[in-house]
Structure 1
Amino acid sequence: MRLRHPDGTAVHLGYCSNVHQAEDLDGVLAQLADHAEPVRERLGVDRLGIGLWLARDVVTRLTSEPGELQRLKDELDTRGLETVTLNAFPYAGFHREVVKKDVYRPDWADEARLRHTLDCARVLAAILPDGAARGSVSTLPLAWRTPWPPDRADTARRALDRLAAGLATIESDTGRRVRVGFEPEPGCVVETTVQAVRELRGLDPERLGVCLDACHLAVQFEEPGSALRRLAEAGLPVVKLQASCAVEAADPADPTARAALRRLAEPRFLHQTRTAVRQEAPDVRGVDDLPDALDGGLPTDAGPWRVHFHAPLHADPEPPLRSTVDQLGQVLAGLFGGPSADCDHIEVETYTWSVLPEPPTDLAGGIAGELAWARDRLTDLGLKDDQR
């Protein structure tokens, strides 16, 4: 969906296809017909944005076979879909039985990560719809935090310079600008906006910036307004917003809350968990996975727990748990509620539908509900539907 900010900026709203399982091109094309088009029809819009996740094998095929790239472009158009952003964080195997820390491999000290990201940018430049000012690609925040010795950090930094140069070449060749956003995530080398400024300041702001995931921001107990100001003052653009919510247990000692959390402690994805002692500067403490917290790794008397489990935007988790939807609302207000739009790509990224304690029987309806929620919050901020 496209909306228009009062300053004239076209803001693209869509959802991320990493919620669907497919690691070959035929599977990706089937997703468009089986899932994305029904979501569009539920919303009653002529065109729906979909942020594609394309596994490495799919990207290789698209970059080596021009006919297959055209096939993807034609299928998007036939289904009333458009893509302005790709999620290049997972490299492959995102729906294996166990993913956990494998999602952070290869990292930015590995040549494969640079190659994959530039290939994704080439694919995106070829399928960007007419009228889109630019494209965006999101990627991991350098690496998981360990091991990260100085030599690998230096290699990664040089890779980012090569990334900016490669994106400039793509723009010169195609006339389409694609920006890459590094996505701070709990447990990684860059898990907060403070670390983003430290590690990413000085990069080419025309091509590189931050992909801000609102769930991750909440898990780290970052105050949205301060985080956004910090990025702006450092010259780090928000290339893309991933509209997402974390799960919060207000009283993690409550047996009912712990039982509900146990039902979220599933084996596929990593669910980093944090608590914060409420002081002027919150002391954030954390563990790498929810079972670790439940087994005694995190205090229950310091404050609420927040869990990296992407909760549906429009629906409450199992009581007494709640979501951080209020924090997401503050992020939206900070980016879009002022005189100018500080971001133009929004991707609803609830990839956890299949691992909910009770997975939905109507996935298209759930995704449509999330998108409608996001659209309504944006129109409340003064944006207008712009479905031209």
Structure 2
Amino acid sequence: MQTSTGHLTYCTNIHPGENWPAHFEALKKNFSGIKQQLSPDAPMGIGLRLSHVASLELDKLSNLAEFKQWLKENNAYVFTMNGFPYGEFHHTVVKDQVHAPDWTTNRRVDYTLRMFRILSTLLPKGMDGGISTSPLSYRHWYNSADELQEATSLATHNILQVAAALIKKYRESGVIMHLDIEPEPDGILETGEEFIGWYEQVLLPMGRPFIAKQFDVDEDEAENLIKQHVMLCYDVCHFAIGYEQHQQVLDTLAEKGIEVGKIQISAALKADLPKDADREEIRAAFDRFDEPTYLHQVVAKKVTGHVKRYPDLPEALADIENPLIEQWRAHFHVPIFTEEYGLVQSTQSDIVDVLRIQKANSFTNHLEVETYTWGVLPDAKKLPINDSIARELNWVKDQL
């Protein structure tokens, strides 16, 4: 829906269904009830998540025409898409495979171009569109600095292929679409600093001559075109896990002319670890979040101010008594409307900070709530899924 600072929606990765018929059925079952609570008389946007299989099916003209008609009938529109998980996202072990195939492969390029082709057909006239994607790859797949550098270079080359296609579309039609890179723990790009470093030290040096030659422009114009079509997906959960200072990151991006394509409004888990007390109850509280589907990386803050990274929750749980650790933050997209989960809390205050910055000086017009862990809520806080999603979006509206 349209808010004072941009388009607000939720990501449909909450709905199971890895093929298009199943996903469309979930939308038809749920969306109208959500919209009725939030935007009954005005258009409401959808943050569409499509797997590789679903994208192949929706790319067929008959399916796309049917979906466009359904959007029209339901006073809905698509302005952002989630192109991070390529394969299955529900009812299977995802873990590090959420990055596969990564940006070193042609499969990731083909999938992303297909997603943009679908988005260009669905996007309302005069509106920009974005697709969030993996931060190049999963860093622990590479065993040396040389391997990591080679993967980064190849991934950047492939991202520039997509950028060139988006520039071509823009020059032909005036439609602006952007690829929104989403840093996350243990990605090749996992922090704001790493994203900015990659953008300035790898993407632009490789991209300026490439785009200049492709479109017969000088390198300054090539850089402008890259910045128009390759942006940052600001996932608040991921930035909070790394203890990043939101205002500082956003100020640096603005200073360097790098844009934010989308805010993914999401919360992580956190807890202070008492220095001279038994930590068993906190360990037990985190242990109930140790489910087998997704990676739940933990970033721990040491008493020295430095951080220690654990690739998944079990490794952190095994180190719970480490006296050098004073706080944990865990990658787990918990519902955003509440800050308390018993002995552990959420990073809801980070969302409040980011939305305060957005309200004061809008730095993007795409806002998407990404919560997909409703099962962790205490029974007293559980609602039917449509009411749960509406509660999340209404909470964001209240912040704005």
**TM-score by structure 2 length?**
0.87
1:106-135 CA distances to partner (integer Å, 9 max, x unpaired)? 111111111111111111110012452x00
Q: 1:298 to 1:242 in 2, by over 3 A?
A: farther
Distance 1:190 1:369 in 2: 32
CA spacing shift, 1:278–1:240, aligned 2, 3 Å: farther
The answer for unaligned runs of 5 or more in structure 2 is 208-225
**Is there any run of 5+ residues in structure 1 with no aligned partner, and where?**
6-10, 379-388
Q: Distance in 1 between matches of 2:332 and 2:182?
A: 16
Q: Tell me the alpha carbon deviations over residues 186-222 of structure 1, each in whole angstroms, 9 at most, x when there is no partner.
A: 0111000110011122261010010010000010110
- The 8 Å contact of residues 125 and 174 in structure 1, kept in 2 or not, is answered as no
TM-superposed CA distance for 1:142, in Å, is: 0.4
Instruction: Show the counterpart of 1:274.
Output: 299
| 1:308-323 equivalences in 2 (<5 Å) | 308-323=331-346
Q: Which moved more, 1:361-370 or 1:178-187?
A: 361-370
Quote the offset at 1:299 in angstroms. Answer: 3.1
In the alignment of these two chains, the number of paired residues is 367
Distance 2:323 2:165 in 1: 48
C-alpha deviation, 1:155, in angstroms: 1.3
CA distance in 2, matches of 1:93, 1:376: 34
Q: 1:289 to 1:355 in 2, by over 3 A?
A: same
Q: Within 5 Å, give how 1:103-252 maps onto structure 2.
A: 103-132=98-127, 134-148=128-142, 149=147, 150-201=149-200, 202=204, 204-251=226-273
**Residue pair 2:299, 2:310 contacting (<8 A) in 1 also:** yes
CA contact (8 A) 1:82 1:128 kept: yes
Query: Any conservation in 2 of the 1:263–1:357 contact (CA below 8 Å)?
Result: no
Opposite residue 279 of structure 2, the aligned amino acid is D
The correspondence of residues 1-388 of structure 1 with structure 2, limited to 5 A, is 1-5=1-5, 11-46=6-41, 47-63=43-59, 65-132=60-127, 134-148=128-142, 149=147, 150-201=149-200, 202=204, 204-251=226-273, 254-277=279-302, 282-296=305-319, 299=322, 301-338=324-361, 341-354=362-375, 360-378=382-400
Between the aligned partners of 1:270 and 1:77, the Cα distance in structure 2 is 37
- After TM superposition, give the deviation of residue 77 of structure 1 in Å: 2.3
Q: Give the letter for the 1:30 counterpart.
A: E
Deviates more, 1:82-91 or 1:301-310: 301-310
Report the Cα distance in structure 2 between the residues aligned to 1:363 and 1:297, rounded to whole angstroms.
Answer: 34
What letter matches 2:182 in structure 1? E
SS at match of 2:341: coil
Q: Judging changes above 3 Å, is the alpha-carbon distance between structure 1 residues 377 and 186 closer, same or farther for their aligned structure 2 residues? A: same
Give the whole-Å Cα distance in 2 for the aligned partners of 1:243 and 1:151: 32
Q: Which has the higher helix share?
A: 2
Amino acid at match of 1:138: S
Give me the whole-angstrom Cα distance separating, in 2, the residues matched to 1:287 and 1:337: 35
Q: Distance in 1 between matches of 2:314 and 2:73?
A: 44
The AA in structure 1 aligned to 2:399 is: R
Q: Give, in angstroms, the shift of residue 80 of structure 1.
A: 3.0
How big is the shift at 1:263? Answer: 0.7
Listed one character per residue, the Cα deviations across residues 233-286 of structure 1 (whole Å, up to 9, x for unaligned) are: 23221110000111111227533322221111101111011111355xx41111
Distance in 2, matches of 1:152 and 1:138, equals 20
* 3-state SS of paired residue (2:49): coil
The alpha carbon displacement at 1:354 in A equals: 4.2
- Residues 4 and 297 of structure 1, relative CA distance in 2, 3 Å threshold: same
Match of 2:223 in 1: none
Query: Percent identity of the aligned residues?
Result: 33
Q: 1:386 aligns to what?
A: none
- Distance in 1, Cα, partners of 2:357 & 2:364: 10
C-alpha separation in 2, matches of 1:34 and 1:170: 34
What SS does the aligned partner of 2:28 have?
Answer: helix
Higher relative contact order (CA 8 A, sep 6+): 1
Q: What TM-score comes out, normalization by structure 1 length?
A: 0.89
1:357 Cα offset (Å): 7.0
Residue number in structure 2 paired with 1:381:
none
Q: How large is the RMSD of aligned CA atoms in angstroms?
A: 2.0
Structure 1 residues 81 and 299: CA distance shift in structure 2, 3 A: farther
Contact 2:334 2:376 in 1 (8 A): no
Using the alignment, how far apart are the partners of 1:299 and 1:236 within structure 2?
39
Find the structure with the greater CA-based Rg: 2
**SS in structure 2 of the partner of residue 304 of structure 1:** strand
Where 1:163 maps in the other structure, the secondary structure is helix
* Cα distance in structure 1, aligned partners of 2:292 and 2:184: 19
